[in-house]
Copies of this chain bind each other. A is one copy, B any other.
Amino acid sequence: MKNIHLLTPKEMRALIRKGNWDKPTAGLAMGYAQANLVILPQKYAFDFLLFCQRNPKPCPLLEVLEPGKFRPEFLSKDADIRTDIPRYNIYRKGKLERTVRDIRNLWKNDFVTFLLGCSFSFEETLLRSKIPIRHIEEKKNVPMFITNIPCRTAGVFHGPMVVTMRPIPPDKVTRAVQITARYASVHGAPVHIGDPSKIGIKNLQRPDFGDAVTIRKGEIPVFWPCGVTPQAVMMKAKPDFCITHTPGHMFISDVLNEELASY
């Protein structure tokens, strides 16, 4: 088989669809945007769309499909949302019930699909600027933390912001802010730099999702809003039913990261 890192988005999605890849997707199909997934019954759709409008940093909408539709139009022309994500989380009344690799048998005609930008999109540009990405270096899932930063409420949806953390050498922090600020539709600039306790994080070695990574002497922990925020929100809002991706296991799109950047 070809080196996995050289596969196109279409090839990666085919591999995932056949059940041959169920691991995190960071570093795959470099150059192409990946997306967070939220699927909700139609009765929750207006409230959640409003939640995303009010919380664009953790929940930057890339595409929303009309009720019952499982094929995107903007992010890909040949994808199927029910099969093309490596792992799905099934939430019932706010509880993670199980993790599955295919949701065709769960699909209902009133399901509304939301695809949200993912910070993996700006990692490529950070790497090109010689800013290290520790979880890629260590072949791990990005560390994610539930913070004490409240999201703005919309209808039934409320809860805390989830962030990703990347340890950055002190002389590169400003550049990392500048680079990521260009990518508002994939979470944009950091929400916090420096002291994890200020945003309610007790131990950087105990992430709420993903893996802990090495923080070298002198490195500054930098925190970006994360598309796993809806999952923390589902745990609080407890909708009857909700499907998301499993953190780190993203939808791989055919849209270039550069197409999502501001000038």
Which of B49, B262, B263 is in CB contact (< 8 Å) with A46? B49
A263 lies within 8 A of B181 (CB) = yes
- Give every chain B residue within 8 A of A155 (Cβ-Cβ): 66
Contact string against B for A residues 44-75, beta-carbon threshold 8 Å, 1 for contact and 0 otherwise: 01100110011000000100101000000000
Q: Is A126 part of the contact surface with B, judged by Cβ < 8 Å?
A: no
CB-CB under 8 A for A181 and B46, given A64-B53, A154-B66:
no
Interface residues of A in 225-263 (CB under 8 A from B): 262-263
- Give every chain B residue within 8 A of A53 (Cβ-Cβ): 49, 53, 61, 64
Interchain CA distance A155-B184 in the complex, whole Å: 26
A66 lies within 8 A of B49 (CB) = no
B181 lies within 8 A of A262 (CB) = yes
Interface residues of A in 102-151 (CB under 8 A from B): none
A184 lies within 8 A of B49 (CB) = no
Interchain CA distance A178-B50 in the complex, whole Å: 30
Interchain CA distance A66-B45 in the complex, whole Å: 13
**Complex: chain B residue closest to A153, CB-CB:** B66
B184 lies within 8 A of A262 (CB) = yes
- Give every chain B residue within 8 A of A45 (Cβ-Cβ): 46
Interface residues of A in 158-185 (CB under 8 A from B): 178, 181, 184
**Complex: chain B residue closest to A65, CB-CB:** B50
Interchain CA distance A181-B262 in the complex, whole Å: 8
**Complex: chain B residue closest to A188, CB-CB:** B262
Interchain CA distance A28-B189 in the complex, whole Å: 32
Interchain CA distance A263-B261 in the complex, whole Å: 13
Interchain CA distance A61-B53 in the complex, whole Å: 8
Interchain CA distance A74-B50 in the complex, whole Å: 14
Which of B54, B64, B181 is in CB contact (< 8 Å) with A50? B64
Interface residues of A in 75-91 (CB under 8 A from B): none
Supply 11 further A-B pairs (C-beta < 8 A) apart from A49-B53, A181-B263: A45-B46, A46-B46, A49-B50, A50-B64, A50-B66, A54-B64, A66-B154, A181-B262, A184-B184, A189-B263, A262-B262
Contact sample, A vs B, 20 pairs, CB 8 Å cutoff: A45-B46, A46-B46, A46-B49, A49-B49, A49-B50, A49-B53, A50-B64, A50-B66, A53-B53, A53-B61, A53-B64, A54-B64, A66-B155, A178-B263, A181-B262, A181-B263, A184-B184, A184-B262, A189-B263, A262-B262
